[in-house]
């Protein structure tokens, strides 16, 4: 971030000459398929992804192609199978459609076969993985379209079927029949060296019969029988995946902007049936004494069960290194936000799994650098206290450019002003506003050398960083990524004298924890508001 008016020191800005696509930095070209390109890329957190791209115009020849891309990419992102790499994101940016996929290493099956045929056991194990993945995809309505040895990485129990994300970018239509024909050819290629086994010879003969295997599951069962190892019962049961797209990029097309969305197409959870009514009373037998009856009262219907939003929210409050929320959407739980590091992300998922009570749930989580765990943990008690007050401290972006772009990141780009709107809780406070950058620095936005006015009346609002007000202002500059904005409200200033306007985050955090611990026992509880900001060039 570059500092603004009144600052003597200058910020050195280096040219960012590397190729980018939104949040991704493109590295080497790994391959191509027609107009589609496969790059190794790094996301904003430095994590490697396999990024397929294609000119958006290729998908805009007709409206159906573009819609098919969006629908297929979103559906593929929900596939959950150990042999299918996860689709992490998809969208359109700057005239390019893209699909980001978890990278897979290892030689292709074609490379492996060039060194010699696989043994029968390895061939069967490889086909089991491949056909299992194909069956899962077909049940989800996804077609591969280019199933061949070159699309399979590794072999046997480690085989991975790549290319499902690539299929979303294809304007050509493929069918399940095309996939089944390709699967048959793959079976022939892997088993042709084992025809001395009567069962193999019989299976290859059946492959030549039209309609012998109507789906991938039936072919998989036949292959599994070659070694006498039956498939587990769970292998044929439909599975409901819980992998959700982590991020859907800003969708810019023909000058329009559509915000990222999370698609939820899963069936609603099975709700318990209400207790059945008791059977009608039998008629009295002739001569039996009449039994007085009272008017029947219909039992009150059970209130419909609701997902345990509050229970999950309470569980998430125990994860200090994440800023996440939970809501009910369509009878399911959706947990969204940002976790500081992979450990924090895992803690969020574990907390939700434990508290969800079996309800369907999904995640729309971004992962920021683990360095931001320290400031969040340092003010965890203040953040939790702020969640519990009726009129909390709030601090949000007021930069006009992000008013319609929240969640479609980057939220702020190079040269954008950083403007904040702060609102005090229902009591007078003093505020400390800090901006933690990706390079381990903290910039103190308030107080600063030209503004020591940290006092806010109860419920009062304060705008910070607006040039029109004539005060200190800041603009976004490199390094880019996820950065943290932290606002702390206390009755008295946290520090007797202002900190340096910019200092190492580690030095400041040690002083901050000490200052919070030194607050008088009878002082009102400190409150804090935090949010991540995604910046980019």
3-class DSSP string for 89-140: EEEEECCEEEEEECCCCCCEHHHHHHCCCCCHHHHHHHHHHHHHHHHHHHHC
SS3 call for 392? coil
pLDDT for 456 equals: 95
Confidence of residue 270 (pLDDT cuts 50, 70, 90): very low
Between CA 136 and CA 176 the distance in angstroms is 12
- CA distance between the termini of the chain: 11
According to the per-residue pLDDT averaged within each range, which of 12-21, 62-71, 113-122, 251-260 is highest?
113-122
pLDDT for 274 equals: 34
Report which of 287, 274, 245, 278 is spatially closest to residue 262, judged by C-alpha positions: 245
Between CA 224 and CA 131 the distance in angstroms is 10
Between CA 469 and CA 492 the distance in angstroms is 25
Say if CB 132 and CB 220 are below 8 A apart. yes
pLDDT tens for residues 281-292? 333 333 333 334
pLDDT greater than 50 at residue 439: yes
Task: Give the angle 185-102-106 at the CA atoms, nearest 5°.
Answer: 55
pLDDT greater than 50 at residue 279: no
Instruction: State mean pLDDT over 218-230.
Output: 81
Which residue is associated with the tokens 């924890």?
513
pLDDT greater than 70 at residue 377: yes
pLDDT greater than 70 at residue 358: yes
Instruction: State mean pLDDT over 179-202.
Output: 94
Please state the φ and ψ torsions of residue 231, each to the nearest 5 degrees.
Answer: -70, 145
pLDDT for 131 equals: 95
Confidence of residue 382 (pLDDT cuts 50, 70, 90): very high
pLDDT for 2 equals: 55
Encoded tokens for 66: 């573009």
Encoded tokens for 48: 């490697």
Instruction: State mean pLDDT over 184-206.
Output: 94
Which residues are within 8 A (CB) of 202 and not within 5 positions of it... i.e. 6 or more apart?
none
Percent pLDDT > 70 in the chain is 79
Say if CB 401 and CB 412 are below 8 A apart. yes
pLDDT tens for residues 35-48? 888 999 998 888 89
Instruction: State mean pLDDT over 156-180.
Output: 85
Confidence of residue 172 (pLDDT cuts 50, 70, 90): low
pLDDT greater than 60 at residue 432: yes
- Tally Cβ neighbours within 10 Å of residue 477: 19
Confidence of residue 521 (pLDDT cuts 50, 70, 90): confident
Lowest mean per-residue pLDDT among 47-51, 57-61, 141-145, 253-257: 253-257
Between CA 514 and CA 374 the distance in angstroms is 14
Tell how strand 87-93 and strand 96-101 pair up: antiparallel
Between CA 33 and CA 166 the distance in angstroms is 9
β-strand partners of 504: 441
pLDDT tens for residues 488-509? 999 999 999 889 999 999 999 9
Between CA 364 and CA 366 the distance in angstroms is 7
Say if CB 186 and CB 130 are below 8 A apart. yes
pLDDT for 362 equals: 84
Instruction: State mean pLDDT over 66-83.
Output: 84
pLDDT for 61 equals: 62
The residue with greater pLDDT, 240 or 35, is 35
pLDDT greater than 50 at residue 380: yes
358 exposure class (CB count in 10 Å sphere: 0-12, 13-18, 19+): exposed
Report which of 167, 350, 405, 361 is spatially closest to residue 262, judged by C-alpha positions: 361
Instruction: State mean pLDDT over 124-129.
Output: 95
pLDDT for 233 equals: 39
pLDDT for 114 equals: 92
25 exposure class (CB count in 10 Å sphere: 0-12, 13-18, 19+): buried
Tell how strand 332-340 and strand 322-329 pair up: antiparallel
pLDDT for 128 equals: 94
pLDDT for 63 equals: 60
DSSP-derived secondary structure for 156-216: GGG-EE--HHHHHT--S---HHHHHHHHHHHHHHHHGGGTTSHHHHHHHHHHTSTTS--SH
């Amino acid at each position: 971030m570059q500092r603004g008016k009144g600052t003597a020191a200058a910020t050195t800005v280096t040219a960012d000459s590397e190729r980018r696509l939104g949040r991704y930095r493109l590295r080497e070209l790994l391959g191509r398929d027609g107009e589609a390109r496969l790059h190794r890329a790094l996301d904003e957190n430095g994590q490697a992804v396999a990024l397929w791209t294609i000119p958006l115009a290729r998908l805009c020849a007709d409206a159906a192609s573009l819609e098919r891309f969006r629908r297929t990419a979103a559906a593929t992102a929900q596939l959950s199978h150990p042999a299918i790499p996860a689709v992490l994101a998809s969208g359109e940016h700057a005239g390019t459609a893209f699909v980001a996929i978890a990278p897979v290493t290892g030689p292709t099956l074609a490379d492996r076969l060039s060194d010699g045929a696989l043994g029968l056991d390895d061939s069967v194990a490889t086909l089991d993985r491949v056909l299992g993945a194909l069956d899962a995809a077909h049940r989800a309505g996804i077609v591969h379209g280019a199933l061949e040895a070159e699309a399979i990485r590794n072999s046997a129990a480690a085989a991975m079927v790549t290319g499902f994300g690539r299929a979303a970018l294809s304007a050509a239509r493929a069918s399940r029949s095309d996939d089944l024909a390709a699967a048959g050819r793959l079976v022939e290629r892997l088993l042709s060296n084992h025809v001395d086994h009567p069962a193999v010879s019989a299976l290859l003969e059946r492959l030549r019969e039209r309609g012998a295997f109507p789906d991938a599951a039936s072919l998989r069962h036949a292959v599994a029988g070659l070694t006498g190892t039956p498939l587990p019962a769970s292998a044929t049961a439909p599975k409901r995946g819980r992998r959700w797209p982590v991020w859907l990029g800003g969708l810019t097309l023909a000058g329009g902007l559509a915000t990222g969305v999370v698609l939820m197409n899963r069936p609603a959870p099975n709700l318990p049936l209400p207790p059945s009514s008791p059977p009608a009373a039998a008629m009295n037998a002739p001569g039996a004494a009449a039994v007085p009856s009272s008017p029947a009262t219909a039992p009150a219907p059970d209130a419909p069960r609701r997902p345990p939003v509050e229970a999950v929210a309470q569980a998430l409050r125990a994860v200090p290194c994440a800023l996440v929320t939970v809501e009910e959407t369509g009878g399911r739980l959706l947990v969204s936000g940002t976790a500081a590091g992979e450990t924090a992300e895992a803690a969020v998922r574990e907390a939700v799994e434990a508290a969800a009570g079996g309800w369907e749930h999904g995640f729309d989580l971004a992962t920021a650098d683990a360095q931001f765990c320290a400031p969040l943990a340092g003010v965890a008690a203040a953040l939790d206290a702020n969640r519990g007050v009726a009129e909390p401290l709030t601090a949000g972006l007021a930069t006009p450019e992000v008013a319609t772009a929240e969640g479609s990141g980057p939220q702020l780009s190079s040269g954008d002003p950083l403007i904040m709107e702060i609102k005090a809780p229902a009591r007078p406070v003093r505020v400390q506003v800090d901006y933690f950058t990706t390079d381990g620095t903290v910039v103190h936005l308030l107080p600063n050398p030209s503004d020591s006015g940290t006092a806010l009346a109860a419920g009062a609002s304060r705008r910070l960083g607006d040039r029109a007000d004539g005060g200190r202002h800041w603009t976004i500059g490199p390094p880019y990524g996820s950065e943290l904005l932290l606002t702390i409200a206390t009755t008295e200033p946290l520090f007797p004298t202002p900190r340096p306007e910019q200092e190492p985050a580690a030095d400041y955090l040690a002083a901050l924890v000490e200052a919070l611990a030194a607050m008088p026992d009878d002082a009102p509880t400190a409150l804090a508001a935090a949010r991540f900001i995604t910046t980019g060039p």
